[in-house]
Amino acid sequence: MRTAILLQPPITSIDDLPSCFADRVDSDALREWLAHPAARQRLVAAADRARLDDTVASTFRLDSQKKDGVAVIYVAGHAFVEDADWDSLGLADAFERSEVAADVRVEDMIAAAATKFDEDAWDEAREIYREAEARVSNEASPRHAEILLALGEIERLQGRTEEATALLDRALSMAPKHEGALRARAAIARSTGENAIAAAMLHRLLGSVDDPTERSEVLATIASESLEAARSAVLGALELRPSDLDLLHRRRTIAELSENWEDAVTVEVQLAEHLGDSKQRAKAFVRAANMSHNRAGNTQRAVALFEAAIEDDPRVAGAFEAIERALLDSGDHAGLADAYKRQLERLGTEGDAKPRVELLKKLAKVSREDLEDTAATIEALDQLCVIQPDDIDARLELAELLEWIEERTLAVRTLEAATSHAPFRAEIYRELNRVFAKTNDDDRSYGACSALVTLGEADIDEQLVYSQFAPEGPLKVERAFDDEVWELLAPEDHDQDIDAVMAAVEQAAISAWLDAREEAGDILTPDEKYRQDPTTTTVAAVRSFGWASRLLDVEVPTIYAQPGNTKVGAATFPVRGNAVLLGRQVLTGRSPVELAFIAAHHMAYSRPGWRAIAFFPKTEELSAVTLSSVSIVRPDLVEPQSLGPGGAQLATQLGKHIDGTTKKRLGDAIVRLQSRNAKLSLDQWVRTVERTACRAALLATGDVAVATPLLSVIAGAVGGMTARDRARDLIPFSVSQRYAALRGIVGVRVGRG
């Protein structure tokens, strides 16, 4: 407010004044006026060094904050009165009463303003506080500071932070330790990021805080604000020197002290990126990742940092395990599945398979149980089965899911593969039977139930299916075994080029064997009285061998039946022609199906090249024959002098029976082997021949439950194979798609319709 003093008032304005004011004011006139009773009523106390505007506003009750006008005061003049006159006139009491009245007025105004404030009438409260502040403007007192604090709070609440700050600063200049002003100023400083000011205000506040709990909180806030102030300073310095490692270390320390873990992680990453060594950098990323997970609680960032560590050093200790743990703790199953996939990509397909196996198991589990993602589960299980083929549980689970999405063909193939790795596990055959029954495939359902009966694991329903379709005698086939059938019967690892080699040398080898026995006087001559004609005989076993020969499309042998021979079941008679000797083990006590299986198995060895195995049952003998034969045809491959004395003698004997046709056939077979860099692995070849013979016998009889017990009867350990080894192949084969196709080819499938 601006004030103008008019010393010569208009005549009309002094009508009620004493006559002494009509003229110039002097000391006598003032004494006369002060002695007038009206003076005592109009006396206003004014403090020393008070501002004129404030005094005028207080005296005449004007608005000292008003800025849009000028207050004009009419006075007659001024003069001084001595202290003696003041006392003699008795004006001290009047002046004191005037001072008290002014104080009461200010207190009333403060109370009224506070009431308006509590009623949220902030604008009205502000005006009253301003008037009160004008009356005490000459004071540097706590009361004045309180008024300024109240005005500052109103400004703050109405969003005028700058005005509020100025009022609080004025209050603190009058009362530096004013608790309310200090708290309010600190709050504004914290909200505006003036951390150093906030810390300073709170530090001053400590002198008035006695409660231990509150004091501790204030101290903690001071520390926090001080650290934030230090952080701001360091950040400012880093803008100028971003690669200053000392500043980065300080920033990390400040972040850790203030428990600003996200910032601490950021600095840790920045420090890691300054490291040139990838292994050291990986370890630093792991530290940052652990801090992000354990301190900041930021799982996604932690996982990303662990991934970065692995990229720098795939073998960094504990990184992937930490990723897994973090994602499990946070329940992020989708992220966990993605982490497993990325780790699998890193591991690749080389090296130790165990880590990949474990990851695929976990991936399948989380995909199925937590994500309910059938496609992803199937993919993981499929990869697992490729890496670890003998994981039967994985195959069973895979088959279950494939069937659930109606991919029954794939489910069956999965279970078939499982049987080859666990041929004696009944659960696989039970699952196969369930699938076949659901698709009304009676023939294959019968096969699965037959396998369960063989294993002794069939329940009542499975036994009924087996009983319904099990054959009672030799099968009535529609087609004999031709090359297509034999090719399907042979295992995938059977080498037909070795078949050709053995077929080329077989007759010469048998002739050489017989020559050697004749020279030694050790040749056996069959007793013709035991000879049987399979077309006219009444002996079931003999008829079975004749039937099996025709079915297998091989030469019907000369058959000798000797019931008194307890040592022989069925044996190739050592003569140049194809002859078979049957003993008591075959001639008596055998069912038609058993005879059919024994006959078909034995006659399978009449296939070209396979009959030589009967004369040379040991692999080393068969190998000597083969190498000696090759030395005759291809001495560039097998030098004759490399055979040794025994080999040279055998080569001489073989040479007597190897003609030009034999040489050509053998030479062509050798060329085929060479063209594909194949080895002459006779051990494996003999075993695949035996497996083929067992399969052919099963196809001829159609009952694996009958066939399996005979595996210990039909032959010794051919190629080192025991009866159990044969069963390991035959039982899975009996439920295979290939076997089902063969049954369809020869026309023996069963069915209800």
The tens digit of pLDDT for each residue in 15-61 reads 455 555 555 556 666 666 666 665 555 565 555 545 566 666 666 65
User: What percent of the chain is helix, strand and coil (3-state, nearest 5)?
Assistant: 70, 5, 30
Lowest mean pLDDT among 84-93, 583-592, 704-713: 84-93
713: pLDDT confidence band, cut at 50, 70 and 90? confident
For the residues 696-724, what does the mean pLDDT come to? 89
The tens digit of pLDDT for each residue in 103-117 reads 667 788 888 888 988
Query: Nearest 5°: phi and psi at 580?
Result: -130, 135
> According to the model, what pLDDT value does residue 748 have?
92
For the residues 504-523, what does the mean pLDDT come to? 89
Distance CA 562, CA 720 (A): 28
In the predicted model, is pLDDT for residue 753 greater than 50?
no
C-alpha closest to that of 264 among 304, 219, 294, 233 = 294
Asked if 542 contacts 591 with a C-beta cutoff of 8 angstroms, the reply is no
The tens digit of pLDDT for each residue in 139-165 reads 777 888 888 888 888 888 888 888 888
189: pLDDT confidence band, cut at 50, 70 and 90? confident
In the predicted model, is pLDDT for residue 224 greater than 70?
yes
DSSP type of residue 716: S
Dig out the tokens for 485 from the structure.
């059938």
Distance CA 33, CA 17 (A): 9
> According to the model, what pLDDT value does residue 372 have?
95
13: pLDDT confidence band, cut at 50, 70 and 90? very low
- 3-state SS of 479-515 is CCCCHHHHHHHCCCCCCHHHHHHHHHHHHHHHHHHHH
Average pLDDT over all residues of the chain: 85
> According to the model, what pLDDT value does residue 207 have?
79
In the predicted model, is pLDDT for residue 401 greater than 80?
yes
> According to the model, what pLDDT value does residue 310 have?
86
- Domains of the chain, by residue range, sit at 231-425, 495-681
Three-state DSSP class for 458? coil
Q: Which helix (H) or strand (E) holds 70?
A: strand 70-74
> According to the model, what pLDDT value does residue 556 have?
95
Distance CA 419, CA 718 (A): 23
Comparing 77 with 108, the larger pLDDT belongs to 108
> According to the model, what pLDDT value does residue 752 have?
44
In the predicted model, is pLDDT for residue 195 greater than 90?
no
**Spatial strand order in the sheet of 579-582:** 531-532, 558-561, 579-582, 570-572
How far are the Cα atoms of 232, 235, 244, 248, 254 from residue 241, in angstroms, in the given order? 14, 9, 6, 10, 18
Lowest mean pLDDT among 25-29, 600-604, 607-611: 25-29
For the residues 268-285, what does the mean pLDDT come to? 87
CA angle 403, 409, 414 (to 5 degrees): 75
Distance CA 465, CA 449 (A): 7
Distance CA 502, CA 751 (A): 41
Chain length of the chain: 753
Q: What percent of the chain has pLDDT over 90?
A: 44
How far are the Cα atoms of 77, 209, 447, 621 from residue 28, in angstroms, in the given order? 13, 58, 143, 160
What CATH number is given for 231-425 in this structure? 1.25.40.10
Comparing 222 with 670, the larger pLDDT belongs to 670
Comparing 230 with 609, the larger pLDDT belongs to 609
> According to the model, what pLDDT value does residue 12 have?
45
> According to the model, what pLDDT value does residue 327 have?
87
CA angle 748, 749, 753 (to 5 degrees): 125
In the predicted model, is pLDDT for residue 259 greater than 70?
yes
Comparing 378 with 223, the larger pLDDT belongs to 378
Q: Which helix (H) or strand (E) holds 746?
A: helix 737-746
Asked if 281 contacts 312 with a C-beta cutoff of 8 angstroms, the reply is yes
Q: What percent of the chain has pLDDT over 70?
A: 85
> According to the model, what pLDDT value does residue 14 have?
44
Dig out the tokens for 110 from the structure.
């403060």
The tens digit of pLDDT for each residue in 312-354 reads 887 788 888 888 888 898 899 999 999 999 889 888 888 889 9
